[in-house]
Amino acid sequence: MRSSLRTALIVTAMVSLVPLPAGAQEGAPAAPRTSWGAPDLQGVWDFRTATPLERPEELADIDVLTDEQAAEVIERLAERWTRLAEGSESDPGAYNQFWFDYGTSVTDDRRTSLVVDPPNGRIPALTADGEARAAARRDRRRDHPADSWEDRGIAERCILGFNAGPPMESSAYNNIMQVFQTPDHVVILNEMVNDSRIVPLDGRPHLPGDVEQWRGDSRGRWEGETLVIETTNFTAKTSVRGSGPGLNLVERLTRVDDGTLLYEYTVDDAATFERPWSVAMPMKRSADPVFEYACHEGNYGMEGILAGARADEREAAEAR
């Protein structure tokens, strides 16, 4: 069993060693179009990956793995998951290992990190203000770990999923999202906590600066084949690797080919980081029909989502 499972994992993951799809090359054909002519990003997309967010220190001078290095990484992962599946590792983790869904392959281009800028593949250092806020959070957690429900993390309380974003990050499980489109909205539905982010495309301005939201205030626009989403108005209770409420997040989604959606984002928060930093994470079309059925047939249909959004907008307008 150990040998057959490991072989199956390696064969499946070796797909990641092929070059980038033709759609990612300059001059590639345009993405499929919707009935109203926009690039079609719709579908169920899987963003799990074994490529780490930051480049490991032992690979400091290596931007891209060789085929041999990538194969070694994949084999080590396959061996580890085989051991976990057979129960031969002593620590089962927070759940039975069956439920974990970490990636078993690296990105197609074999990068050593998802961070693509700075060139060293690392998140920039914190500013003095960022360090002070981080220290204050650590002190608060140490001295008041559970005085009330407010002392527990928002991911633990399922207010936000720990990988649902924005921005989305590959993590332990629920690394699936679905895109819906209409001419004037895009909806990003995350498997984690069934979170639906509704992004207007009609050119409306952001909310007033004093109106803060858990996931910020997102506005979208098309730049050629790429959907660009800019999000501001974050609350101080949410954070991207230590960011503060002044965070400006820009996400880009580009349909590379039929089976790949390139997800990129830039974190810009001058009060927290010494410089902006950017990530590129390819998402693969999911072959799992269960999630797609749930999204189309359950309570997450586009009509229901947008009806709720319009009701929220009316309520907000009346409140102002």
Would you kindly state where each structural domain of the chain is located, as residue ranges? 39-64+113-319
pLDDT value for 23: 37
Of the chain, the percentage scoring pLDDT greater than 90 comes to: 52
Residue 267: both structure tokens together: 């974190």
Read off the pLDDT of residues 33-65 as tens digits, 9 standing for 90 and up. 999 999 999 999 999 998 999 998 988 889 999
Higher local confidence (pLDDT), 84 or 35: 35
Report residue 216 as tokens. Answer: 């910020």
289 or 228, greater pLDDT:
228
Q: What is the mean pLDDT of the chain?
A: 81
Element (H, E) at 216: none
pLDDT band at 200 (very low <50, low <70, confident <90, very high): very high
Cis before 118 (ω within 30): yes
- High-pLDDT (> 70) share of the chain, %: 75
d(CA 101, CA 80): 13
Give the per-residue pLDDT at 76.
80
State residue 86's pLDDT score: 64
What CATH number was assigned to the domain covering residues 39-64+113-319? 2.40.128.20
Helix (H) or strand (E) holding 231: strand 226-232
295 pLDDT above the threshold of 90? no
The first and second tokens of residue 276, run together, are 């902006």
> DSSP H helical segments within 233-279, as ranges?
none
Angle, helices 67-85 vs 2-13, to 10°: value is: 140
Q: Give the pLDDT score at 230.
A: 98
Distance of CA 267 to the CA centre of its chain: 13
Strand partners, 266: 250, 278
Tokens (6 digits) for 218: 């997102």
* Least confidently predicted of 88-92, 150-154, 194-198, 290-294: 290-294
The pLDDT value given to residue 320: 56
Contact by Cβ (8 Å): 234, 245? yes
280: left (phi over 0), alpha (psi -120 to 50) or beta: beta
Note the pLDDT tens digit of each residue in 206-216.
Answer: 999 999 999 99
pLDDT at 97: 65
- What is the model's pTM? 0.79
Nearest to 185 by CA among 175, 195, 200: 200
